[in-house]
Amino acid sequence: MTNGLKLLICTLSLAASFAGMFQNQATAQNLLKLRGTVSITDDVVRIGDLFENAGSLADRPVFRSPAPGQSGTLTASRISYALRNHGLQWRNTYRIHEVNVSRKGVTLSLDAIGKAVEQKIMALDKDGEPDELALEFDRDARSITLPADMLPTPTVLHTSYDPRTGRFVAVVSGPGPEGNRYRRKYLGRAIAVTTVPVLTRRLARGERISADDVAYRKVPRKRVPASTVLQIENLIGQAARRTLRPDVAIRTRDIEKPRIVRKNTVVTVVFRTAGLVLTARGRALKDGALGDIIPILNQRSKRTIEARILGPDTVSASVTTYKTSTLIN
């Protein structure tokens, strides 16, 4: 075979190969069907994201994607122009005029950010005074939305803290080098708190406190007086001495034993002596709780005696102090 014939055959083979490639590409372009809605996770929008039947063209990037958790709209004319820049001709056969592109994301919550900043502030506090801190962010504080493939773990890049005022500044991002692209500055105040039992509802004066009425809460340490009740069990069964509000530290002077005898109510006076039990009727001259000693007016004799409260509307008088006739006459 002559060299000229070999060259001719080689040329024809290459021409056939290029013709086949362009024919396949043209066929792929004609089969492209634009999607109306696209949801992606990457930071670029590819041809395969926008079109069905993209084939070998699928991995070609054509647009930057929206920020994580955000969405945007691409018009068909803009998409067609982008494809021409890649040497592709596309006909909008299905008459779809725009595509909504949304990017998935994960949320780095303010709660998680606050815990990470709190740990940094605790490490900065050389005196180590606060056992716990509660962070109050300024009003413009927002969560951070990260790419869907990134762990929602905060990284505190910088923290400054003034123990006198409690003011802090913190710069927080997502994890790793890529997370730095989503950094945000946070300002606020760190408050020393302590855990104490508080009421979960408003209680009127005289209402008894049940187990369902109390729970432990973190409250600012400055709002916790020295006389605060620190254990729930010391509240259950007690009564409100005055109207008490929820979520406020309760002082010992705010509660009392439930009053089971009320002033001016008629009570039964029990008088016990050896082999003899006498009862009489009297009027309580004072409120009292179980075990309290209160004055009782004998309704017949109009004499006043001291008696210990045994139960609701029942009191007991001592035989060593009072004559039997005091009770029954």
Count of domains forming the chain? 4
**Nearest partner of 74 among 54, 102, 33, 110, judged by Cα:** 102
Least confident of 20-24, 61-65, 227-231, 270-274: 20-24
Looking at mean pLDDT, say which of 1-5, 242-246, 271-275 comes out highest: 242-246
What percent of the chain shows pLDDT beyond 90? 55
At 98-111, the pLDDT tens digits run: 999 999 999 999 99
243 shares its domain with 264: no
* Per-residue model confidence (pLDDT) at position 9: 29
How far is 147 from 67, CA to CA, in rounded Å?
Answer: 8
* Per-residue model confidence (pLDDT) at position 278: 84
The CATH number given to whatever domain includes residue 227 is 3.90.1210.10
Last residue of a domain, one of 258, 284, 308: 258
Least confident of 65-74, 113-122, 319-328: 319-328
206 shares its domain with 186: no
* Per-residue model confidence (pLDDT) at position 299: 78
Least confident of 122-126, 313-317, 325-329: 325-329
The CATH number given to whatever domain includes residue 316 is 2.30.30.760
167 shares its domain with 229: no
How far is 255 from 229, CA to CA, in rounded Å?
Answer: 10
Burial label for 262, CB within 10 Å (0-12, 13-18, 19+), is: middle
79 shares its domain with 140: no
At 26-71, the pLDDT tens digits run: 444 557 889 999 999 999 999 999 999 888 889 999 999 999 999 9
Residue 238: give the domain boundaries: 196-258
295/3: higher pLDDT: 295
Residue 51 near residue 35 (C-beta atoms within 8 A): yes
Question: Where does the pLDDT of residue 12 fall: very low under 50, low under 70, confident under 90, or very high at 90 and above?
Answer: very low
19 shares its domain with 112: no
Question: Where does the pLDDT of residue 320 fall: very low under 50, low under 70, confident under 90, or very high at 90 and above?
Answer: low
pTM, to two decimals: 0.59
At 110-120, the pLDDT tens digits run: 999 999 999 99
Chain-centroid distance, C-alpha 262: 45
Last residue of a domain, one of 236, 258, 280: 258
Q: Is the pLDDT of residue 22 over 60?
A: no
* Per-residue model confidence (pLDDT) at position 7: 28
SS3 of 315, please? Answer: strand
241 shares its domain with 149: no
At 177-206, the pLDDT tens digits run: 889 999 999 999 998 888 999 999 999 998
Structure token digits, residue 177:
């080098």
What percent of the chain shows pLDDT beyond 70? 85
At 124-172, the pLDDT tens digits run: 865 555 568 889 999 889 999 999 999 999 999 999 999 889 899 999 9
At 214-234, the pLDDT tens digits run: 999 988 888 888 899 999 999
Strand partners, 228: 251
23/304: higher pLDDT: 304
Q: Is the pLDDT of residue 3 over 70?
A: no
Last residue of a domain, one of 237, 258, 279: 258
281 Cβ neighbours under 8 A, 6+ residues apart: 266, 267, 268, 269, 299
* Per-residue model confidence (pLDDT) at position 111: 94
15 shares its domain with 71: yes
